[in-house]
Each structure stands twice: as structure tokens, then as C-alpha cells.
Amino acid sequence: MLPGAKIGHAGTLDPDATGVLVICVGKATKISSFLMEGRKEYSGTGCLGVTTDSQDATGEVLEERPVDVAEDAVRAAVTDFVGEVEQIPPMYSAVKVDGQRLYRLARKGVEVEREPRRVNVYSFDVDGFELPRFRFVLECSKGTYVRTLLHDLGEQLGCGGHLAQLTRTRQGPFRLEEAVPWEDLLSPDGEKLVRDRWVGPDRALSFLPARPLPVTAVPCKTGDMLPATEGDPERGSLVRLTAPNGEVRGVGRVTDGGVRVLNLLPASGEFGRGRRAS
């Protein structure tokens, strides 16, 4: 489809999940890790009463329990999973333990201890019931295992549960209605569709707060420390570095001493094919 082009992505989807997958081409692959920082929105279906080894519908059933839960109880329970949430990554995941992917160990029937991780769930709402199934929408940070949320919710309700279906409807500024279906990408018009949907780093990084580059720091280089300003966000935050004309020229991270330059992008006129970020 794009012979010879360097191609990457900004966050995987589980095998049975559908929805937004951000693809980076050319020089835009240099910002793929930053695009992963964008908030993600999902819609999906949970199923109560059945737990599986993968925490979704693809796994083997471990236990079945009766579902004697009122709709109001489900709606109340999901609120306990909003905010900063501690999750233990599922065995069927790409997380590495001692250099080995967990899913590879799980396929061998091996289970190992996993360190809990903190993620943020910004919203989690139930929008329909056909018990034991229910529909939900949520917004979360990177690294959130939605199937683990559904598994943990089922345990809290006392009946168990798993993720039955999941669609990623947004990642950062990219929404499902803008996406190109996979089968269309594989069609004879696939390359044209890709080129028509390419966007530049200005929009791709628009979810990050802007941090103007001081005129004296243009050009600057990766690793430089920019002086702190009153408008800087909290320590650890990523910012998009903008030139005097407003164009995104890189990404930095706020530290105690200012903003550390993590990545620099060419001016738009020099970005060529790589200026398209997805």
C-alpha cells in the first residue's frame, strides 16, 4: 500500500476489539509514543455471571454464577471504578515480566505474579441493560485494561463477569467516524484513502497543552532545558512545543527545572511525507 514507507502505530487493540487505530507514516513514527498519551474512549458490552481466563469472550470459561443483581446496583458499582484505579494486568496481555510476554506464559498454562498498575478512568457509564449483559461507555488513560475493569466489576457484584465486546471510539483527537475501515485500506483505492486521511502533527498533538518556544531557543536540540514559565502545567506533563507562528515543532516534558525537549520535528515545509501523523 505504501511501499518503502516506515510505518508504526500509536497503541494496539485486543484481537477481538474494533475501532480507532492510529497509524503513523514516515517521520511521524517519531511521535507515536506521544500520541499514545491521548485519552481513549470506548463503547462496549459487559456480560455478568461468567468469568474467563482472558477476562473477555475469547477465553476459556472458568466459572459461571447466577446473576441476581439489580440494574441500579450495576450503575452504582461502576462509579467505584472512576478516578485513579489500581489494576493487575491480565495474564493474556503484552506486559513483560522478567523479559517474557505474559500472554506467551499464559498459553503455556503458566501464571506469574504481576505488579499492580495505576491508571485513570475519567468516566464509566452504563447506557443499557439486557441482563446478564449491559452496555457501557468509558473514557480512560493509556494502559487501562477495559476487560480487567469488567472482570473486577463482576467480582465486586459477586457474580463475576467479562468483557463481551469492545469498540474504541476515540484516541486523542481521532474519532471513529473519521477512520478508514480495514477492508477499504486493502482495496485498490487503499493508498489514496490513506493519503486523503493523513493529518499533520499540529492536529495529531492538539490534545497536549501548547508551550511556546522562546525565540532564543529556535532552533534548539533534543535534550535542551527550556526555562520554566508561570503557564507550565504540572510536573511530568507532556507539552507540544510551538514555534512563533504556532506550528508544532516538538514535544517536551515539564520538570522541576523547566521543560525538557524530548523530540523535535522539522518545519512543515521540510516534513514531507512524514508530516502526516495518521
**DSSP β-ladder status, 83-87 and 210-212:** unpaired
What sections of 9-101 are H helices per DSSP? 32-35, 71-78
The residues, any chain, with a CB within 8 Å of residue 223's CB and separated by 6 or more, are 260, 261
Of 14, 56, 152, 232, which is the active-site residue?
14
Cβ proximity of 130 and 124 under 8 Å: no
Q: Is the four-CA dihedral 168, 171, 175, 180 of positive or negative sign?
A: negative
Q: At 77, give phi and psi (nearest 5°).
A: -70, -35
**What's CA 238's distance to the chain center, in Å?**
15
User: Number of C-alpha atoms within 13 angstroms, CB side, residue 179?
Assistant: 19
Q: Per the structure block, which three cell numbers stand in for 218?
A: 529556535
* b/e code 125-139 from CB counts within 10 Å (16+ = b): ebeeeeebbbbbbbb
H or E segment and range at residue 232? none
Give, in order, the Cα–Cα distances in Å from 202 to each of 45, 169, 247, 264. 34, 21, 6, 13
**DSSP β-ladder status, 40-48 and 161-171:** antiparallel
Three-class SS of residue 94?
A: coil
256 catalytic, yes or no?
A: no
The residues, any chain, with a CB within 8 Å of residue 215's CB and separated by 6 or more, are 244
Catalytic residues: 14
